[in-house]
């Protein structure tokens, strides 16, 4: 039998002082998925069932709580003031940030395990990691909050 690393272990490998929360409740996850009108990516869902968010270096919300994921995504998809400033956010599912305004997301359409960054100053969206485990390794490593640049 092959041993599978937990999400907490994966985060600690990159940053031993990563902050964890109590696991998200299944009913809270289901409620967030109802609000969003879609299931969360399975890896993100599994991570949230281990820890409802991860805090990285300099207290950055590397992975948001399930409540924040639902709230922020609904805000970005429905706030009319964003329409004149940015391309639509409907194709993205944000789940974390760098503490300075840039946010990290999965692509919803077509669904992909890859992680992309949305840079708020330029509205650019580009690939930064080959999945959630890769994202944790890169974002929590000792490279600063702009590790993806």
> For residue range 7-20, what is the model confidence (pLDDT) as tens digits?
999 999 999 999 99
More confident residue, 1 or 109: 109
Inside any domain, residue 15: yes
Confidence of residue 3 (pLDDT cuts 50, 70, 90): low
In a domain, 46, yes or no: yes
CATH, residue 102:
3.40.1580.10
**Burial grade of 9 (CB within 10 A; 0-12, 13-18, 19 or more):** exposed
Residues 113 and 95 sit within 8 Å (Cβ to Cβ): no
User: Does 2 have pLDDT greater than 60?
Assistant: no
Residue 149 in this model has a pLDDT that exceeds 70: yes
DSSP H/E element including 43: helix 42-50
Domains of the chain: total: 1
pLDDT at position 1, please?
Answer: 46
pLDDT interval class at 4 (50, 70, 90) = low
| Average pLDDT, integer, range 91-107 | 97
Q: Is residue 95 part of a domain?
A: yes
In a domain, 147, yes or no: no
Query: Residue 145 falls within a domain, yes or no?
Result: no
- Is residue 2 domain-resident? no
What is the domain extent for residue 112?
7-140
Within a domain: 92: yes
Round to whole Å and give the CA distance between 89 and 142.
30
Q: Is 108 exposed, middle or buried (0-12, 13-18, 19+ CB in 10 A)?
A: middle
Instruction: Count other Cβ atoms within 10 Å, centred on residue 22.
Output: 9
Q: Tens digits of per-residue pLDDT, 107-132?
A: 998 899 999 999 999 999 999 999 99
Domain-located, residue 149: no
**pLDDT tens-digit map of 30-86:** 999 999 999 999 999 999 999 999 999 999 999 999 999 999 999 999 999 998 899
**How far is the C-alpha of 16 from the C-alpha of 10, rounded, in Å?**
10
pTM of the entire predicted model: 0.94
Distance from chain centroid for Cα 76: 14
């Amino acid at each position: 039998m092959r041993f599978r690393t937990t999400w907490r272990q994966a985060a600690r490998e990159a940053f031993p002082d990563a902050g964890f929360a109590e696991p998200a409740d299944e009913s809270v996850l289901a409620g967030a998925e109802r609000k969003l009108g879609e299931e969360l990516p399975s890896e993100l869902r599994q991570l949230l069932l281990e820890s409802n968010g991860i805090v990285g270096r300099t207290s950055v919300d590397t992975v948001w709580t399930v409540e924040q994921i639902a709230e922020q995504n609904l805000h970005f998809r429905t706030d009319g003031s964003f329409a004149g400033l940015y391309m639509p956010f409907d194709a993205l599912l944000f789940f974390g940030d760098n503490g300075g305004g840039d946010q990290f997301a999965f692509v919803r359409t077509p669904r992909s395990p890859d992680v992309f960054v949305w840079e708020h100053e330029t509205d650019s969206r580009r690939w930064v990691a080959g999945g959630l485990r890769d994202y944790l390794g890169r974002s929590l490593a000792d490279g600063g909050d702009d590790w993806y640049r």
